[in-house]
Structure 1
Amino acid sequence: MTNQKPLLSKFLSFLLLSLSLCGYEPLMMANELIPIGVVLDLKSSVGRVAERYMSMALSDFYAVNHNYSTRLSLLTKDSGNDVIAAAFAALDLMKKEVQAIIGPQGSAQARFVIELGRKAQVPIISFSATSPSLSPSQNKFFIRVAQDDSAQVKAIADIVKAFGWPEIVLIYEDTEYGNSLIPHLMDALQVIDTRVPYRCVIPPSSNNTEIIKELNKLKENYIRIFLVHMTASLGSKLFALAKNAEMMSEGYAWMVTEGLSSLLDPMSSKVIDSMQGVLGIRPYLNPSKHLEDFERKWKRNLTSIQAKIKSTTSLNLFGLWAYDTIWALAMAVEKAGMHSRFFKQNASGFNADLAALDIFENGTRLRNTIVNTTFEGLSGNFGLVNGQLEPSTFEVFNVIGKTEINIGYWTPQRGFSKDLKDSSEKAYSTSKDKLKPLIWPGYTIHQPPSRLRIGVPVKNGFTEFVKVEWNSSTDDTPNVSGFSIEVFFAVRDALPFPLSHEFIPLRLRNGSYHYEIETKKFDAVIGDIAIIANRAKYFDFTLPYMESHVQMVVSVKHDERKSLWIFLRPLSLNLWLTTGVAFIFTGFVIWVLEHRVNTEFRGPPAQQLGLIFWGESGK
């Protein structure tokens, strides 16, 4: 019996060699199939692309590693965009004793599935749940084969600092994915003294009318710098409506985070057209021969018209992470020597009974093996730090035409740079000079203003209110003073936040300031601008801080009321002469009558003349 075993082994080896020479793959018969669950939203572009990428990853991996004794068997479940459906799909897969689950896509879905994985000790591997609130360090059986959203925060803050924006409005969706990044952004912007005066939160279920209402609120605000953190479905709707609202024009600046910028290619040409001038960042893909070969193979496999409609021919970052996930998991399963060993608990007739979930005894070993797996993947160096991909280089791009133009790079060590190969600059830089020129919304090269543009009227008279003067003919910056300017400074100093501004001379055109103000060249105007009905149709005026009643200007004359002869004014000269003649005539008549009988009316002529006037007055 002892001699028969070596003979039997030699015979089997000879048989396997013969089958191999004949073109058969006898090792396939000995491979152990390892069930792996996949939970995706197959109605989304990310889900469809990820499913195809993972299928190609299986084929590519075992074509290279045909000697492996284990092979992954993917069991895919369509969860849609529903949290409960994703939880039930994961629960059903665990009932089938899968040894790991890839997915689900959304962060809100992943939160529930992670709890199921913890209970069953089944590793949950996600390539798209990037919410910072889902921490692999706090969830032992959660592995993120993607970069945490918070990894991009420092790069975003550096962009804001580079362009000198003192204020920015955050626009994000009201989901786990949208809300979880905001505290990290607020902290980073506070460090660079950038204020967030308003946060626009849009639920994913919002219709066009509700989104337009929010955009109108933003349009009424003088701030024109926006940062958008949304998924592709809601973000594409937002930008299309923003263009219709004339908010993608000159004077505005839009920036998008990694989640939206990584999915620009699957969007329609109409949406891309509405995003002209948008600034964005996304993880940088290091070119490699493996990546080029995969891209050619990917385009070649898209042969059917239906596949071309539903998929994109360009590389998709989430799809590449899904591809690398399959390679990492296949390596880990083989290295850990996995077998389907589940600890059976008390069974229950109810399918959703969590207490009856079987516990995967080798779950911890598989999880640790995945975390320690390293290789050169399609998305770059695959290496997990604290259960997730380590932050690396970000690409800064500008949407122009039908594509995104690279304008620079950002690394945690060097900040901005135009070329990653240039090692001459080793100091950390946040200067926009390290980025290539870009096109802003409205197809302009002029950067949207980072300060309030304050118009000040230029006039010759009444300079006590506003006075604009230049030190020299070549000086472009005017010296502005006056009472109205002092009022502006007092209001500015009373604000609880810093307010950057610049004074711009406002000149008369055709005798009026109306045209210059109507062109919206200024954010505000300070000075004695009259409030008239025509202007009030287009502009908002502050309450007057000085009263200026209607007055009449006349020349100054002597006040005759102070004269001694004021009593003569009521009667005319002729009337006064007539009265005097009548007075004298009456006195003469009295003298004639009294002269004959009264001795007092006799005497010198002067005495008799006096008696005439005296007699009249005495009468």
Structure 2
Amino acid sequence: VAMAQNTAIPVKVGVVLDLDAGVAKIGWSCIKMAINDFYATNSHYKTRMILNSRDSKRDVVGAAAAVTLKYELSRTAYPYPYRVPEGTAYYVTMLQDNPGEVDVELSNYGLWAYDATVALAMAVEQIATAANFGFQKANVSTSSTTDLDTLGVSRNGQNLLKALANISFKGLSGDFQFVDGQLPSSPYQIVNVIGDGAREVGFWTQRSGLVRELNSSLPMTNISSTSNPKQLATIIWPGDSTAVPKGWQIPTNGKKLRIGVPVLQGFREFVGVTIDNATNTSTVTGYCIDVFDAVAQALPYALTYDYIPFARPDGEMAGTYDDLIHQVNIGNYDAVVGDITIIFNRSMYVDSTLPFTESGVSMVVPIVDSKTKNAWVFLKPLTWDLWVTSFCFFIFIGFVVWVLEHRVNEEFRGPPSYQAGTSFWFSFSTMVFAQKEKVVSNLGRTVVIIWFFVVLIFTQSYTASLTSFLTVQKLQPTVTDVKELIRNGKAVGYQPGSFVYGILKNLGFDDSKLIPYVSPEECDELFTKGSGAGGIAAAFDEVPYIRLFLSKYCSKYTMIDPTFKVGGFGFVFPRRSPLVSDISRAILEVTEGDEMKRIEAAWFGKQSNCPDSTTSVTSTSLSLHSFWGLFLIAGIASVLALMVFVATFVYENWEALMPSNSSQHSIWSRILNLFSIFNQKDLRSHTFKKSGNIDNVGISLPSTCAPSPSSFSIHTDFSREPPSPLGSDLNSNGQAPQDVSVDVDQLTNPNQENSTTEINQANI
């Protein structure tokens, strides 16, 4: 070891410390300890660091004179060569301000001093040559004003810097390695001091942020996801409370905010100001005031403020709303609380919070009972296109049933006028299911069943809609269009000092037609007078005011479109005020909770007894769009039934349509012949086959007639049907005429002749 020390290259290291400080003493001890330990372990190294201490005597200027500068390893911190006195390299340890009492226990500062000394010794060894540690004299003039200009320049300072930046080892304070010229911050333990004791809350690391426990086995790469205060242990605050006290962001001992409030003559439910002239004090209440108080309570810090009415000595408001907001811009008020609407031109010189009410400007008009003034109300449940369509379908269904029943149903036969009346009577009587005619064909029954289903839904819907018109749907607004008001020269109302006046002017209202009102009661009086007697026909206002107005007069007025969009009510602060974002977040917290409902119920009450204005002005007329599916089903079923009937009828009477001598007859004559067959009864139908009355062509007499020995015969040669228009020997059914013979026993009663005549007529 002695041989190594004799041949080793000495490297002088200066250490500047405040030797009167306890931390400095610990650091100086650790530095010397590090030198001894390092070279005892690495006795073969070519270099030996020799420590030279200098006392700064708590003088920052003296420390700066002892060493050129406090340097960082980053090149950007000091990109010039490092000037130090010739033959000496200085190492500077920075102390915290006012370190306090001397602590005899080893601290982190001692560990850092130990590791820093080891790192410097390792770097010196890496660049160790006999000529490397020389200094070059600075070439300066004799007129230099500072000693720093006379310092020499290290010939190998840059190499030492690079070597030190690449040093990495496991030290007493942890992993020692420079990152971007800086040592990574060590983890901090967060403790909760309770009286004379302390409890661990968590840790803070540069990579992982706030964590509950240190876990070196997990890779700490995600910084943002772990920086969550909720992962820490519960903090016990003074008073043994877990609730976070207020006053951390903004000191509670700051000045009180001067908050301006408007002075309203009406609508005092929003802001009500009562001034006591005797004591020169004022009391401010209202919906907006309660909302702001609740928002202030929701802030994470204590906010103190006073409400200052914006009023003249006589108690009247000292200007318009824009004038009040301008007071914030010029610094007379710190904020404005009230029914302040967020609009664009105000945002040019003040900042507003998020709105705490619904937004929009709408129109209020009177409603009238129209039930007793319309004698044709029974037509309103259906639109005109549905009326026309349903009427046409009733006629169409009557025609279809007549076609299907004419040849097989005696009730649908007779003179043409009787047949038409019966068909339409049957069709329209299905509306009340009062038809008395029987439907005997299967095709007819199919059509009627489907039509009954359509009529059932149709009549039930009509009844429900008519009931709605006669009961619920009886209140109608007197006017629904703004253009109608302008065109008819009607007067409208608005609140004075409000921006609504500008909206009405832009819509085209004349100044003579704009009448101001200051309270809901005055607005109701203007409506009662009417536009022609100095009153108004409609009122334009913001939605919150309209809601309040309708809560008092919901049975007389209604709110209708159009609605002009605005920002709603908000609180006003100076531009770039830090309170705006905090107040806005608190507004969201209050409006989403039950506190907002409680405040609204306290000032506006519940409107459960008021009719819904939306329902009272919405038409409930049924349109064709609601029934076209039913009509489509009925129409398809009827057309299919007609097609089946026509196909069957033509097939059964094909010989009449296409006879063997068809070339001698025109198409028109054959069609007429087919229609004449259609007009006849279909004797093959079961409805015309009555046993006991008609057996082929014979007639049986009643059994009550006494037999007679004498008899007579009547021979008649005639056809059962009129002759064919084609002049053939066939009857309309394509059969030859038959000889009808009636044998009647001679009757003994005096009515014998009359009875015989009746029998002959029956055969005819």
Q: So what's the TM-score if we normalise by structure 1?
A: 0.37
Higher radius of gyration, 1 or 2: 2
Q: So what's the TM-score if we normalise by structure 2?
A: 0.31
